[in-house]
Amino acid sequence: MNKKSKLIFIIFLSVILISTTGFTKIESKPRILYRVYLKGESLGLIKSKKKLEEYINKEQDSIKKKYNVNNVYPPEDLSIEKEITYSNDIKSINKIYEEIKDISPFTIKGYLIKIRGLDTIDSTTGKKIKGKVQTIYVIDKSIFTNSMQNTAKSFVTDGDYTNYSNNTQKEIKDTGKIIENIAVQNKITIKKGNIPVDKKIYQTEEELSKYLLFGTEKEQGTYTVKTGDTISDVAFNNKVSTEELLIANPNLKDENSLLSPGQVITIGILKPQVSIEEQEHVVEYETQNYTTETQIDNSKPAGYEETTQKGVAGENKVTKKIQKVNGEIVNTVTVSTEVIKEPIKEIITKSDKVAGYGSVVATRGQWGWPATCSSVSSGFGWRWGALHDGTDIAGCGYGSNIFAAQAGTVVQSSSKFDNGQYITIDHHNGYYTMYAHLSARYAKVGDYVEKGQVIGAMGQTGFATGVHLHFAIWRGYPYRGGVAQNAMNYY
């Protein structure tokens, strides 16, 4: 075989090999192409990155209309990398697009807002639960900032919030309140970037404000008003607080607003996604409750009991620093107290201690106040889906005296992760009282105590966010078949 025949044979053999083995045609010179990766897997080579991006934007008119945007971008997990290659195996833009749209969502420009939840305590185990981080997506940053303002206004009176923001609060001359600070306790970061369109993207303040308050976009429940209903009754019977009911129904001015039969009220349990902290400086007149002293006079017949000196409440002018979180008082510190009128203590004369057993139930006004101050920081009732079974009294100061509300026998004097240091008294008439979060306990199990006797000191033990007394009246043994009562109904 001559040289010419041999060359022809080699060329013929090469053509056969390429056609039968599927080898790609190799260019004689390298060229710049772009390799498309989705989720780390190669989809192939294209000639122009820009053309693919333009094609995606052109084809996604439905996304543009839905979110009122001008541009749609590739998925987050898609990357396009420049590649110098000899290969000529190039895919069409349309083919690559069809593969992408069936696997990953396209994106639009917007804002990614990360909110770090606050750490909490598990009510069952007492263990710390680390706050979770959630991401909220908006197209316009003002939607988020305005929604945060709406959320703050839900917990801070609108007029007070406006005066604070505009620095137009009135100076306190005798009594009154000044908001010293409003802040968000959560760590929040805002970043501009691409948002996958399969995520929940908030487009209105109303929608996001609702989520920030209730933790859901779902419609809240409703209640139809019946004759005789009051706002507090409707709230309690539907297991929400009065404050929650008012927030869910902005048309209701306050808890004294009149309801009409047939009126439909929104029932929503608050689950705030942010914690709005408010610091207040408050000056007010406060009732100074009288103390009760029991004197034993065994010269009197058995069973004798008489109020020999009627108690009279006093009055103080008190300056306080109050911390609220989402409208709820979590800490109260008394800065100063000016005595306006001294209280007169009540004196009860009894024949002996035994006569206290089996006594009749004390009626309204006959129960002794359990603390040295009268400020109620949180009342009895439902809040955020759980029943607060007592009345929180704050502002008296750490270590201030705690008094027995009625005579009885101490049946619990112990410590628990949620109640902290606490005491329970059996009043031998079907009623029990509980005193929780104490800093010290002066009465032990088995002790018989008189009404007004000092049994402990106010503190912040257990699951307590500030110095206060959790005072509860129960009909029946607490948490053993008993039913919690609203203590304020007895005063």
Query: pLDDT by residue (tens digit) across 197-221?
Result: 999 999 999 999 999 999 998 888 9
**What pLDDT shows up at residue 356?**
44
Instruction: Find the CATH number of the domain harbouring 440.
Output: 2.70.70.10
Tell me whether residue 238 is in a domain: no
98, 112: one domain: no
135, 86: one domain: no
Tell me whether residue 119 is in a domain: yes
Mean pLDDT of the chain, nearest integer = 89
Tell me whether residue 193 is in a domain: yes
291, 157: one domain: no
476, 343: one domain: yes
Say whether pLDDT at 150 is over 60: yes
Last residue of a domain, one of 56, 80, 104: 104
Torsion of CA 7, 9, 14, 20, to 10 degrees: 170
Last residue of a domain, one of 69, 104, 139: 104
Tell me whether residue 270 is in a domain: no
Q: In the structure, what pLDDT confidence band is assigned to residue 299 with cuts at 50, 70 and 90?
A: confident
303, 384: one domain: yes
100, 110: one domain: no
Tokens found for residue 154: 């839900």
Say whether pLDDT at 8 is over 70: no
Say whether pLDDT at 272 is over 60: yes
Last residue of a domain, one of 88, 104, 120: 104
482, 372: one domain: yes
Closest CA to 391 of 375, 414, 410, 403: 375
**What pLDDT shows up at residue 303?**
76
75, 119: one domain: no
Query: Could you list the residue range(s) of the whole structural domain that residue 194 is in?
Result: 106-172+186-212
Tell me whether residue 207 is in a domain: yes
Residues in contact with 244: Cβ distance below 8 Å, sequence separation at least 6, in sequence order: 235, 268, 269, 270, 382, 383, 384
Tell me whether residue 40 is in a domain: yes
**What pLDDT shows up at residue 360?**
53
Tell me whether residue 452 is in a domain: yes
Across the range 184-193, mean pLDDT stands at 97
398, 475: one domain: yes
State the total domains in the chain: 3
Say whether pLDDT at 172 is over 80: yes
As a whole number of angstroms, the distance between CA 204 and CA 484 comes to 43
416, 296: one domain: yes
**What pLDDT shows up at residue 365?**
63
Tell me whether residue 17 is in a domain: no
**What pLDDT shows up at residue 76?**
94
Across the range 253-267, mean pLDDT stands at 92
353, 429: one domain: yes
469, 392: one domain: yes
